[in-house]
Structure 1
Amino acid sequence: MFVLCGCGITVSLMHTLVVPLLPEISRGLHLSQDSASWLLTATMLAGAVCAPMAGRLGDMIGKRAVLAYALALMTAGSLLGAVSWSFGSLLVARMLQGAAFGVLPLGISILKDELPPDRVMAGTATMSSTLGVGAAIGMPLAGVIAQPLSWHAVFWAATATSLVMLVLVVAFVPESPLRSGGRFDVLGAFGLAAGLVALLLAISQGSRWGWASVPTIGMFAAAALVLAVWSAHQLRTRSPLVDLRTSARPVVLLTNLATVLVGVGMFAGFMLTPLQLQAEQATGYGFGVPVLVAGVCMIPMGLGMLIFSPLSAKLSSRRGAHTTLMTGALILCAANICQALLPGSLAVLVSVLMLASIGAALCFSAMPTLIMDWVPVTETASANSLNALLRTIGTSTCAALGGTFLAAFTLDVGGAPVPSSTGFVLTYWIAAAASLVAAALAAAVAMVIRRTGSRLARVAELDGEGAVDNAVDTAA
């Protein structure tokens, strides 16, 4: 548990640690703001593409082995970033760091295989919460390291941390005996990579390119075409990269759809709150605090997820994971509504972040449990990886919508255009609506589970009657 959760925190750190470093990196490497933003986009794309592949390979050849390979890639990427001399080398480094995103679903699947049944929910919940913990502490931690030293020092620290986690995994994490075997679908991997890159580029860059521009529409069209062909291939091949038939099971399908919406509902606070904290008070919504203070204010959100994850496991064991998902989505909805009101007190804002962290903790702990309960034991890693991918699509969609609204609605402060409150309010209301729909999907999951349970009970009852009749006939 300790080692795997450490891996989860380390991987999630890699996605946010570069955020406060972008201005310094831009100055040092003479980059424009658009070029520097690719250091975030490339990491996201690499994680989205590699997570499903890592999950499938983990099911095939062993989850611990693939976990170690992913950590080795992250270590290599961190080392390359520490010695980077150009934008190209740093971009490759960020892609290698992002390629390790599959560590999270792999770790959850290992816990499912190795822990006693009564500890699986708590382990899954804690492992899931590490995504929020790492994301919350990444920015202030990077600022603390980079301020007295340089951005290279942050990558040296990431190299040391990644290497330590790799050694701990090799030393303490057992290899799962559950393997599916089969052949790796290379064609399916290339098809999924091409489709996801086109889709996520359209989502993440649409606000810069223009939503009605030729590049954006072309990327969306290419994504739709490639993923349609890819889906047909997955349904025909004997050993698919993603088992779409399993993914189409009602509970799995509804949970995955809810995952996209939860990603939207959760990420609004992660994305917009630091901007609110750093914005000038003249905007009417800002607090005018430094970057480091803004990062510190985000820490309670990550810690809240870690604290409430064990409690969410208890709720799932008593009421079912679907109840936990529905409760968490409703709490996220309430938190986003509070954020949409733009609280004027820093204490109130931090309290609302804590509320959002509780909702996210409940949702993130419930979704892997629902997925793993309804897929074959030899497909847990690939199923969790697909779920993690859909969460990435949700957060990317939220980032795209928020970026579009902030750019569209501005006001003049000190002679410079800055985002107005309208963009923040619209993004939070959309996040609240997405969370509410996710709660409705969780309610639909509950209905499916009840109907399935009743059907199974009826079948068992009929089987029992048949057994009695056979016994009577035999006795006669």
Structure 2
Amino acid sequence: MSTTAVPTAPPVSPARPGRRAIGALGVLALSLGTLQSVVEPALPMLQRELGVSPAEGALVSNALLITGAVLAPVAGKLGDRYGGKRVLLWLMAVVSTGGLLAGLAPNLPTLLAGQVLQGVMVGALPLSFILVRKHLSTGESQAAIGVVLALFTGGGIIGTSVAGPIAHALSWQWIFALPTIVILTATAAVARLMPHDPPAPSDERIDWLGVALLSVTLLALMVGLVAVTGGLPPIGIAAVVAVVAGLATTWVFVERRAASPMVDLRMLARPAIRSAFVLTFITSVAFGMVVLLLPQLFAVPGDGHGFGLSTTDIGLLLLPGAIAGAVSDSIGGLAARRFGSRAVVLTGIGVTAATMIVLSSLHDAPWQLAVAKVLAAFAAGAGTTALLAGTASTVDAKDTGIATSLLVVTRVFGIIVGSQVAGSILVAGTDPLTGLPAEPAFVTGFLVAGLITTLSIFFLRRNGARS
């Protein structure tokens, strides 16, 4: 007796997002970057309107930074487990609530609460990376990651530019309300257009103890960095180091024994991944030094080695560098796809090192500093984006969110540390007669930034950053 074979259905390939879906994701990144950056230029106005001191006003911007650094890895891990789109939509509900709360805030505590909720927006970056990694090819995802980062950075430029005009034409509340309205619209478009990414199949429970320990460790580190920047005494710095080291050691101990750890430490131990984290930190430290040194040199009175420029003039001179940083994020992803992340990182390191060394002896005109900012921002942006895109395509798909979120946090930490190092150099080189940083202090700062960047070349050659 013969049997008839029943034809089996071909496997169903996952739906690919169309251009409108990627566009909606890009608009969301742009509006998030805008909302993140509106506080800094409007801070003096917020202090006057709310009747708070500069120290209290600083809490407004620091609250978002701290929350973002702490929760980004958590969001990435949850996205790996439950799906990037699902977690992204929940995250945007929290961000939108924070934006609306800040837009209606009658006092500082309410505004701070809104900023804390908005801070979770940093987690949108690794969640976006999860989506493009799952739905696009390796080359396409590397390019898309660069575009998302570029739009997020571009949103920062928009927020810095429009915050003042909006606040003066309407009120300061609208600097939070308008970007939030765009976020709500873009989130609805992502929900409708972006294909669902299924949760990772797993019977293992989430390592909530590891999640809590990593969050507390990052919180202690962020608060410690902010405190150090505010002039913490040496004994306080030692206490911060001891607390962070103790928490980090405990977290590693727990992760090594967890059945399903929050972070697979074996993944972090891989040479390519380890190199990506180290190089991201080194590059970001050098760029953080540039971010602080250049405005300070612009502002030093012009009868000495500075130029005595106004805040408006400084902003105009630094604007091309900000634009270059946004463009470089997009180009970094495309270049990583075409040439490999190693080549892009090495080029960025070389450009940054050469720029800083030249700047240490050639800083007699404002245009020289403006060009240096363009070169440094472009090199740093392209290099760190290439590392991010390369890491996203190197790790297992189930680890995309946690790996990229930790790299994003490393980038933030590096910039903060670099700013602190540069500030310490300027303080040490202050002229006791004028109370202003002397020219040798700036020269030292540029040389240190160049030296730090140059050392990363030797690290790259010794350890390698695989494409």
Q: TM-score, normalised by structure 2?
A: 0.86
User: What is the rounded CA distance, in whole Å, between the counterparts of 1:41 and 1:152 in structure 2?
Assistant: 19
8 Å CA contact 1:335–1:356 kept in 2: the answer is yes
- Other-structure match for 1:366: 386
- Do residues 31 (structure 1) and 52 (structure 2) align? yes
SS at match of 1:242: coil
- Do residues 199 (structure 1) and 217 (structure 2) align? no
SS at match of 2:165: helix
8 Å CA contact 2:333–2:385 kept in 1: the answer is yes
The 1:353/1:65 distance shift into structure 2, 3 A limit, reads same
Counterpart pick for 2:423 among 396, 403, 422? 403
**How do 1:166-181 and structure 2 match up within 5 A?**
166-177=187-198, 179=200, 181=202
User: What is the rounded CA distance, in whole Å, between the counterparts of 2:286 and 2:234 in structure 1?
Assistant: 25
**How do 1:205-216 and structure 2 match up within 5 A?**
205-213=227-235, 215-216=236-237
- Other-structure match for 1:241: 262
- Other-structure match for 2:101: 80
Deviations 1:6-44 (A, max 9, x none): 333333334432111222222222322222222222211
User: What is the rounded CA distance, in whole Å, between the counterparts of 2:401 and 2:116 in structure 1?
Assistant: 22
Alignment coverage as a number of residue pairs: 445
- Do residues 284 (structure 1) and 321 (structure 2) align? no
- Other-structure match for 1:112: 133
User: What is the rounded CA distance, in whole Å, between the counterparts of 1:422 and 1:76 in structure 2?
Assistant: 48
The one-letter code matched in structure 2 to 1:169 is V
- Do residues 11 (structure 1) and 32 (structure 2) align? yes
1:60 shift after superposition: 0.6
1:344 shift after superposition: 3.6
8 Å CA contact 1:264–1:395 kept in 2: the answer is yes
- Do residues 322 (structure 1) and 351 (structure 2) align? no
**How do 1:346-365 and structure 2 match up within 5 A?**
346-365=366-385
Q: Mark the runs of 5 or more structure 1 residues left unpaired by the alignment.
A: 451-476
The 1:139/1:306 distance shift into structure 2, 3 A limit, reads closer
The 1:136/1:403 distance shift into structure 2, 3 A limit, reads farther
Deviates more, 1:9-18 or 1:319-328: 9-18
User: What is the rounded CA distance, in whole Å, between the counterparts of 1:39 and 1:120 in structure 2?
Assistant: 34
The 1:283/1:314 distance shift into structure 2, 3 A limit, reads same
Deviations 1:365-407 (A, max 9, x none): 3112321233211111111011111112111212222333444
8 Å CA contact 1:195–1:227 kept in 2: the answer is yes
8 Å CA contact 2:129–2:392 kept in 1: the answer is no
1:55 shift after superposition: 0.3
1:273 shift after superposition: 3.5
The 1:400/1:134 distance shift into structure 2, 3 A limit, reads farther
SS at match of 1:151: coil
Deviates more, 1:376-385 or 1:67-76: 67-76
1:248 shift after superposition: 1.0
1:233 shift after superposition: 0.5
1:146 shift after superposition: 2.5
The 1:117/1:160 distance shift into structure 2, 3 A limit, reads same
- Do residues 157 (structure 1) and 178 (structure 2) align? yes
- Other-structure match for 1:183: 205
The one-letter code matched in structure 1 to 2:451 is A
The 1:256/1:170 distance shift into structure 2, 3 A limit, reads same
8 Å CA contact 2:284–2:415 kept in 1: the answer is yes
Counterpart pick for 2:451 among 433, 446, 452? 433
- Other-structure match for 1:442: 460
**How do 1:76-155 and structure 2 match up within 5 A?**
76-155=97-176
SS at match of 2:106: coil
User: What is the rounded CA distance, in whole Å, between the counterparts of 1:146 and 1:408 in structure 2?
Assistant: 38
The one-letter code matched in structure 2 to 1:393 is F
1:334 shift after superposition: 2.6
The one-letter code matched in structure 1 to 2:218 is L
The 1:29/1:265 distance shift into structure 2, 3 A limit, reads same
1:229 shift after superposition: 0.4
The 1:209/1:350 distance shift into structure 2, 3 A limit, reads closer
8 Å CA contact 2:34–2:159 kept in 1: the answer is yes
Q: Mark the runs of 5 or more structure 2 residues left unpaired by the alignment.
A: 1-21
- Other-structure match for 1:228: 249
RMSD: 2.6
- Other-structure match for 1:52: 73
User: What is the rounded CA distance, in whole Å, between the counterparts of 1:250 and 1:342 in structure 2?
Assistant: 38
Q: TM-score, normalised by structure 1?
A: 0.85
8 Å CA contact 2:336–2:390 kept in 1: the answer is no
SS at match of 2:196: coil
User: What is the rounded CA distance, in whole Å, between the counterparts of 1:130 and 1:429 in structure 2?
Assistant: 32
Deviations 1:85-118 (A, max 9, x none): 2221111211111111011122122112212344
1:359 shift after superposition: 0.4
